[in-house]
Amino acid sequence: MSESTLPPAAAHVGDDVQRVDDAAKLTGGAMYASDLVFAGMLYAQVKKSPHARAKILAINTSKAKNLPGVHAVLTGKELDYRIGLYVVDKDVLAKDVVRHFGEAVAAVAAESLDIACRAVDLIDVEYEVLPPVLNQLDALDENSPLVHPDLGSYDYVKASFSPQPGTNIPNLTKIRKGDIDAGFAEAKWIVEREYTNPSVQHVPLETHVAIVEWKAGDEVTIWSSAQSPFTLRDLFCRAFKLPHNKVRVVIPHVGGAFGGKAGIHLEPLLACLSRKAGGRPVKFQATREEEFSLLPCRSALTYKIKTGVGADGRITAQKLLMYWDSGAYADYAVNVTRASAYSAGGPYDIPNAWVDAYTIYTNKPWGTAYRGFGHVEFFWGLERHMELVAEVIGMDPLEFRKKNLLKPGSTTLTGERINEHTGNPLKCLEAAASAINYGRLTPEEQERQARTGRRIGKGIATLHKAPAMPSFTSTAAVIKMNSDGSVVVNIALTEIGQGTATVVTQMAADRLRFPVSRVKVAVERDTDKDPFDWQTVASKGLLLTGNAVIAACDDLLRQAYLDAAQVLRAQTVDLDHDGEKIFVKQRPEESVTFAALSIGYVYPNGNGIGGPLIGLGRYTAQGLTSLDKETGQGLPALDWTYGAHGVIAEVDPETGEYTVIKIASAFDVGKVINPGTMRGQCIGGMIQGLGTAECESYIYDDQGHLLNPSLTDNKILTAKDLPEEIECIAVETPQLDGPFGARGVGEHPMISVAPALANAIHDATGAELTHMPVRSEDVWRAIHNRLPVDTWVTKAPAV
């Protein structure tokens, strides 16, 4: 065999390889945490607060305890454990006070779900209702009640966050670039406006579910729908002061997550119930209603943007003030705030910038990570504002954006220099604009407009995002060869639907030069068996885990070559391999199969050498730094994925009703590993983004009661709500440190869909939309309440 017969270097990467988890999921055979049942298992239920803010005066659990079949009843008074990702501010069960509607104040574990439900009904709680803090701007008032009076005593991650004791602010992130005053002095125009969006729900089809068993000797096992097994274990062990080797976290198939299942949720409570119930496993699955308020949501945001523009249309300065409503607990919101702050200006070259990003406590369900990690929220304001500024200065919005886009040599808000390998936002923007015939109506569209009386408008919006993660984020992969020469890959990056198992299979197969059929990525994640991964979040998995998998393949091959060199009496440099065997380059007939080497080579006389082939690969984000707390300068970004959306909308100018005719989106992913799964990520994100753009929103009354905790009153898009046409476009500017040149795209398709839609509606009708979601009635109101654009201009050239 000559080298020319070898499979090409990339036989599967870039190809439409079918998902490796299809068969299990299509036949009902895939087991999710919600499907698991264990012998002796108990069912938990929680008693929830009907108030947003109240003192707990008394809890009477005696009737519940006496109900036959009840094995454990707990209240906050008995539990002295606090949890928190970055700011440790949440008791396992509310103690003395409740801080949001739906908060857990007591819990039971019983032999059946029915008994557990009856038991929580028998718990009486006496409250003293207090006026809630519901608006994050009000919460900044010095006379506002404090959601956490003890903020100053809480533990927190000091390298990254800055809580302000005596206030409702668990974090303030500052970015300072250039000279903001000089930048505004230089500006011909200054445009200032405020944009808002509400909290929304992730709505994974599988609600949060976990089973926890805390046996004698502190042996804890957690089966959970969580995204991040190692972070869950770490946070759990911190709360209970347990060594990591006492706690095992197992993650089976996960029914959607979108960030809402990152971190830690009800696992500590279930653990306490299990311990109290003699170590029996205790299961809890949130109802859909509980998913809205017992579990976290996405933070609301008020974004105040002040932009200075020079005579040439270049942005000279930008002051960006973010007010994030974190709800009752800091959780991920403090890091959403931080990650949004350093991305806050979008993919634009802004020489002088000032960002103050506040995380603010209120008495509402708390905000957590959600696909886009803040970027869906702030890009709403930013890309609406870019449209407004373009209108003020009389420039086409596409040209205005193009003039200000980052390009090689530009620096980001934190001082990172962009180069030609970082990615190409211009190509994304041009592709999206071209796909919707931006700036004009086609003859068909003109005809349609004339026929229907509805106005057609076109809008564009850009986006960027880098993974929000610690500067030293690391991961590992282990690849083990079976005795038939097939391999199993162990990683702790969870498969939550995004297609990780499939693309890892492709990358491993190509690096090994094996067919994909010989590669399996283990389904379950298990902290006792899998190598460490920080979290399955941030669109960082493909790059970090991909690199670790490549390193693991190389390590396995290195060992196989060493053993083969001995068997073939050759040096490793004399060897090459194909999908079956390692052979001597100049005499390919002298070869040994991987199967023969896999668990140790056996000579004809029975002697054995070598041993099981196991490759280990590690990868740590390279060269990133913490951000300076006063200036925000540093290197936070593993990689930047750029993108853009184009939307064609059709609006009834009488009623404000609208539909989306087309959405076209382009992303610079470096290298497409799997077109089918990438397209799936894109469309899924685009439609999820369209859902939050069109209709999704938490609605509260003036006492902080959540009014719409259901899929009837908080609709997500159905198949009937799809645009008539959806187009996904890949740009491939290779990421130099990415596996096969690839970078992540899991979150990005959801970002900036809303402003692209609103820009299209604005194009069609002139409606100025500043609040999302954009419902038909909002469009109607905006059409009928138009103010002149100079309402928001605070500096303009003399006429």
Report the interface residues with other proteins, using CB under 8 A.
Answer: 18-19, 21-32, 34-35, 37, 114, 202-207, 253-258, 285, 287-288, 427, 431, 496-499, 666, 672, 675-680, 682-688, 710-712, 716, 718-720, 722, 726-732
Based on CB atoms, which residue is closest to other proteins, 300 or 753? 753
Return the amino acid letter for 357.
A
Tell me the residue ranges of DSSP E strands in 216-314.
219-224, 247-251, 282-285, 300-309
CA trace torsion 518, 521, 527, 531 (10° rounding): 70
Shortest distance (Å) from residue 466 CB to other proteins: 23
Shortest distance (Å) from residue 673 CB to other proteins: 11
Residue pair 173/357 in contact (Cβ under 8 Å)? The answer is yes
- Residue 772: name the closest of 207, 388, 378 by CA: 378
- Residue 703: name the closest of 299, 127, 200, 116 by CA: 127
Based on CB atoms, which residue is closest to other proteins, 259 or 308? 259
φ/ψ region of 611 (left if φ > 0, alpha if ψ in -120 to 50, else beta) reads left
| Cα distances (angstroms) measured from residue 578 to each of 113, 585, 592, 755 | 56, 11, 11, 50
- Whether a cis peptide bond, with omega within 30° of 0, leads into 773 is yes
Distance in angstroms (rounded) separating the CA atoms of residues 106 and 93: 7
Shortest distance (Å) from residue 259 CB to other proteins: 12
Shortest distance (Å) from residue 494 CB to other proteins: 11
Distance in angstroms (rounded) separating the CA atoms of residues 596 and 347: 53
Based on CB atoms, which residue is closest to other proteins, 27 or 607? 27
Distance in angstroms (rounded) separating the CA atoms of residues 627 and 634: 5
Shortest distance (Å) from residue 763 CB to other proteins: 23
Shortest distance (Å) from residue 250 CB to other proteins: 17
- Residue 519: name the closest of 10, 20, 11 by CA: 20
Based on CB atoms, which residue is closest to other proteins, 688 or 770? 688
Based on CB atoms, which residue is closest to other proteins, 32 or 400? 32
Based on CB atoms, which residue is closest to other proteins, 69 or 676? 676
Shortest distance (Å) from residue 719 CB to other proteins: 4
Element (H, E) at 261: none
Shortest distance (Å) from residue 646 CB to other proteins: 13
Based on CB atoms, which residue is closest to other proteins, 483 or 517? 517
Shortest distance (Å) from residue 225 CB to other proteins: 10
Based on CB atoms, which residue is closest to other proteins, 468 or 663? 663
Based on CB atoms, which residue is closest to other proteins, 352 or 677? 677
Question: In terms of DSSP bridges, do strands 209-215 and 219-224 run parallel, antiparallel, or are they unpaired?
Answer: antiparallel
Q: Which residues lie closer than 8 Å to 538 by C-beta, 6 or more apart?
A: 373, 467, 468, 469, 744, 747
Based on CB atoms, which residue is closest to other proteins, 28 or 217? 28
Residue pair 424/731 in contact (Cβ under 8 Å)? The answer is yes
Distance in angstroms (rounded) separating the CA atoms of residues 501 and 488: 11
| Cα distances (angstroms) measured from residue 30 to each of 27, 61, 255, 522, 523 | 8, 39, 10, 13, 9
Based on CB atoms, which residue is closest to other proteins, 455 or 645? 645
- Residue 307: name the closest of 298, 318, 316, 320 by CA: 318
Shortest distance (Å) from residue 428 CB to other proteins: 9
Element (H, E) at 568: helix 541-568
Shortest distance (Å) from residue 660 CB to other proteins: 12
Based on CB atoms, which residue is closest to other proteins, 257 or 357? 257
What would the two tokens of residue 769 be? 């939309």
Distance in angstroms (rounded) separating the CA atoms of residues 571 and 481: 22
Residue pair 436/727 in contact (Cβ under 8 Å)? The answer is no
Shortest distance (Å) from residue 454 CB to other proteins: 18
